[in-house]
Amino acid sequence: AQFALAAVKSVKEAGSKAKIATFDLNSDIVKSVQSGDVQFAVDQQPYLQGYLAVDAFWLYETNGNVSGGGEEPVLTGPAFVTRQNVASVAKYAANGTR
C-alpha cells in the first residue's frame, strides 16, 4: 500500500494525470480511494484465500462437511474496493484486518 501512496504523491508533484490503483488495502488507501486519488484497490483477503480454502478441505476430509452446501462457490476474494463500496470495508481497514 505504501507504494501506491508514494505513486499518488509523485503524480501530484509531477502534475501528471496518471491514474493509480493498487493490490493492497489499509486505512490510508481507504482514504485515498474515498478522495479519488486511488481509483481502486484490490482487497486480496489472504486469510480467506489461504486459510479458509485449507480449512474447507480439512473439514471435508475429516468430517464430510461441504462449505456452502456444495451448491454455490464459497467466494474467498479478491474483491475490488472502489469509491462506491469503500465505506463497507473502511472500519475493517482501520482495525488492520483488511
Domain residues for the domain of 16 are 2-95
- pLDDT band with cut points at 50, 70 and 90 for residue 5: very high
Average pLDDT value for residue range 75-87: 88
The total number of structural domains that make up the chain: 1
pLDDT digit string, tens, across residues 33-69:
999 999 999 988 777 778 888 888 898 899 998 877 7
Q: State the pLDDT at residue 69.
A: 74
Q: Cα(first)–Cα(last) distance of the chain, in Å? A: 12
CATH number of residue 30's parent domain: 3.40.50.2300
**DSSP E strand stretches across 1-85:** 21-22, 40-43, 79-81
| Mean pLDDT, rounded, of the chain | 89
What pTM was estimated for this model as a whole?
Answer: 0.74
